[in-house]
Structure 1
Amino acid sequence: MAVFLFFMICYGILGSYIALHYRIIFDSRIPWDAYFSFDNKSILMTGGSFERHPLSYYFFNWVREFSLFVSGGKMDANFRLTLAWLSNLIITLNIVQVFKYLKNIIDLPLWLNVIIILFFGAFSTNIILSFTPENFTYTLFLLSLYNHYAAIKLREEEKTPAAALSLAGITIGGLTITNFVKVFIPLLFEKDLFRSWKKFGNAAFRVIVSVICFVLLYLNRIDFKYQNIFSKTNQQYEKFSNVESMPTWDMILSFFFGGNILFPGFIMSDKHNMKGFNFKGLYMDLYSSPFPYLFIALLLILISWSYIKNFKNKWVQVIAISFLVDIMIHCVMRFGLHTSYIYGGHFVFVYPLLLGWLFFAYRSSPKIMAFLTFTLVILFTYLLVNNIFRMTEFFWFMENYYQ
């Protein structure tokens, strides 16, 4: 409750001020790219493109109608405020799920949980999504919730029921289709799965049931015109995978591993809505000093260290394989790599969980625990100072272009 209230208040103050004083959260004239490539209006009105967000249309209908109900049918400041508080609630619940994982699954001491969760709460992805109505906002919560649920099932050596798998597949995969496969990763570590044909067959049956449920709903969404899926998917891949203006290694560090945790500098661009309205868009730039690179390098060393140290730990393997899916999509296949900081909602919860498992591995070694704690506090301090400073730049942008 303390964690919930603390982050609700912190994010709530931020989101409320932005919603009441600026129109950046929702402006009916701006369909996309007002800040960091988020598609606020487009997502709220249509749920996003069906090939990437197959079932989000239905979900965001509820979000939009509820917000309109609260605002009396007007898309005004109260409408924006409702959207901001819905995002605030969801991101706070995401942080609560990560905290509960650290407490219930890893069983770390409370003081350490608090440090890790404060560190996680200061991530740029959590800050931005706490007032942004987007697919990623709700996906982040659903993924952290499902990971906690799956971890409990593995600890109790219980099967994940077909109903739970189907529900997770429909909600998580329905909001962003690339996350659909992540739902089935915990099944790989069910007890004696590969030693018993009966257990393997049962798992396969549960997967088939959930896939059929998802596919039928997906096809119904597009009136069973399945050919559109392939043509639209190819168009999206071509559009978001061919950027040659920046070095690949720098985009991977600054955007994929960096931008969703530690804000880089920002750049502005002139945009238009295809209907004669011009506006300013804000994007993240590559890191421009050695300190952010050092920060990301240290964080990657810590989570790699955690993975190696806990290699035989099935909970760590579930987290790592899930993260590998995103690495393959964005770093290897290069899909959206130039804006991969916006995809942080698919995987940033991995960092606090792997950090938690690293501390768990050295719980009986006071010297290493002290070293890790000191390192984490230094990283947290730098992260907090940097992200607060960058948010002042974001407010300057809103003050000048979105009042």
Structure 2
Amino acid sequence: MKTKLIHLLKQVFPSTYSELAVFSFFLICYGTLGTYIALHYRIIFDSRIPWDAYFSFDNKAIVMTGGSFERHPLAYYFFNWIREFSLFISGGKMDTTFRLTLAWLSNIAISLCTVQIFKYLKSIIGLPLNTSLLITLFFGLFSTTIILSFTPENFTYTLLLLSIYNYYAALKLRKEEKIPGSALTLAGITIGGLTITNIVKVFIPILFEKDIFKNWKKLGNAVFRIVLTTVCFVFLYLLRIDFKYENIFSKTNQQYEKFSNVESIPDWDMMLSYFFGGSILFPSFMTTDKHNMKGFDFKGLLMEPYSSPFCYAFIILILAMILWSYLKNFKNKLVQILAISFLFDIVIHCIMRFGLHTAYIYGGHFVFVYPLLLGWLFYAYKSKPKTSSFLTLLMGILFVFLLANNLFRMSDFFQFLETYYQ
């Protein structure tokens, strides 16, 4: 048991000097950003504003309740711990210290997430240190990682848990080992508990265990582990809602109708600007008038579709590289796991159109796939110096553009805070 705990801690936390350097760098950068926002503005947590202050995040509602039970069935318990710990640090007051604690918990979570990406690139894919650092820094500049680094939300911790689980599953599959039932159950409860649809992603690696469809014993064991995880999750879910299961279907249908029938922008533009692009490259912003249904009016911030052809070109180029990586590594089971996981989100948001008009907030469910597939693209050409150099140059150009754009857009974000949330 002690050995397993040590291995788990080594997988989750930095275990080498390079990993510690990556963690420390992002902890300082994100920490500085989150600390400044928490100390000078009230947007991270304002008791009067339950939702939609910026980019449709539900900060206050999530911190207080964990979110709606039909989409976040077990988040209530997790955020009880987050809230009580933050109140303990702040002396029971929901003040600046309370906001600062929430921001730093998010900061630590996203910084650990970048470590998971770095570990995967370095240990699973086996990329050189410089390439691993470049891709990790690229990931660290994504709009999703920047915003979630100070935002107390389900997406913040979902991104961390999915990154940890994908790295863990990759380690197991690389050694041709099965994922233990205990680990699968824990992943199902935590990941699925924060966002119910993500439980499907927990089961995807099982499909690629060695000889799973050639050996009846192994297949039966896999089915048992999946059933065990599902039963435990369903039991805890029903316990959370006092076994009033009929509420699940009515609430889920209401949510789908509410978030899938927006026609203000063409679907293709919402896909590029919001789903694929908004989670990486900030577009311009627009302010909206909001109210909390209790007499308090406030301003919200939303993303607009891209207005520059350079932004569309950036996203199309990234998608082309992702597709290139997938095709080049088609027989690689670890690549297939990432692709299927990403496809699941594409189906939900782009095909079923759930939340497509604000798809940028869902980046915490899938943005970890981008740097990992880019890493596999570099891996495919490790023995071809010219192509490898070309990819490095291309990544360098994309990195500079991403850095310049997102820094510029964050200045707009701070202008919004200065105007409405001091």
**In which range does the TM-score fall when normalised by the shorter chain?**
over 0.9
Determine whether 1:85 maps to 2:104: yes
Matches within 5 A, 1:315-326: 315-326=334-345
Counterpart of 1:45 (choices 64, 70, 74) is 64
1:195 corresponding residue in structure 2: 214
Task: Name 2:273's counterpart in structure 1.
Answer: 254
Corresponding residue of 2:14: none
Is structure 2 residue 193 aligned with structure 1 residue 162?
no
Residue 309 (structure 2) pairs with residue 290 (structure 1): yes
| Deviation readout 1:337-381 (Å, 9 max, x if unpaired) | 000000000000000000000000000001100110011000000
Match of 1:274 among 268, 293, 300: 293
2:377 corresponds to 1:372: no
User: What's the counterpart of residue 242 of structure 1?
Assistant: 261
2:371 to 349, 352, 359: 352
Name the structure 2 match of 1:60. 79
- Between the aligned partners of 1:324 and 1:16, the Cα distance in structure 2 is 36
Distance 1:376 1:299 in 2: 9
* 3-state SS in 2 of match to 1:259: coil
Alignment of 1:67-82 (within 5 A): 67-82=86-101
Structure 2 distance, partners of 1:325, 1:80, is 34
Code of the residue aligned with 1:214 in structure 2: it is F
How many equivalent pairs are there? Answer: 403
- How far apart are the structure 1 equivalents of 2:285 and 2:59? 19
The 5 Å alignment of 1:4-403 reads 4-403=23-422
**TM-score normalised by the chain length of structure 1:** 1.00
Secondary structure of the structure 1 residue equivalent to 2:289: strand
What SS does the corresponding residue of 1:283 show, helix, strand or coil? strand
Separation in 1 of the partners of 2:264 and 2:60?
A: 28
Q: Percent identity?
A: 75
Supply the distance in 1 between the matched residues of 2:179 and 2:308 (Cα, whole angstroms): 46
For residue 49 of structure 2, what is the amino acid of its counterpart? I
- Whichever residue aligns with residue 99 of structure 1, its letter is F
One-letter code aligned to 1:156 = K
Structure 1 gaps, min length 5: none
TM-score scaled by structure 2? 0.95
Displacement of 1:26: 0.3
What is the Cα deviation at residue 289 of structure 1? 1.1
> What letter is aligned with 1:107?
G
Tell me, what secondary structure is at the counterpart of 1:280? strand
CA distance in 2, matches of 1:289, 1:347: 24
CA distance in 1, matches of 2:87, 2:323: 46
- Please give the alpha-carbon distance, in whole angstroms, between the structure 2 residues aligned to 1:249 and 1:109: 37
How far apart are residue 197 of structure 1 and its match?
0.7
CA distance in 2, matches of 1:333, 1:364: 41
Q: Distance in 1 between matches of 2:158 and 2:391?
A: 30
Distance 2:370 2:54 in 1: 24
Cα drift, residue 254 of structure 1: 0.1
Structure 1 stretches of 4+ moved >3 Å: none
2:381 is matched by which residue type in structure 1? Y
What is the Cα-based RMSD across aligned positions, in Å?
0.3
Counterparts of 2:133 and 2:306, CA distance in 1: 29
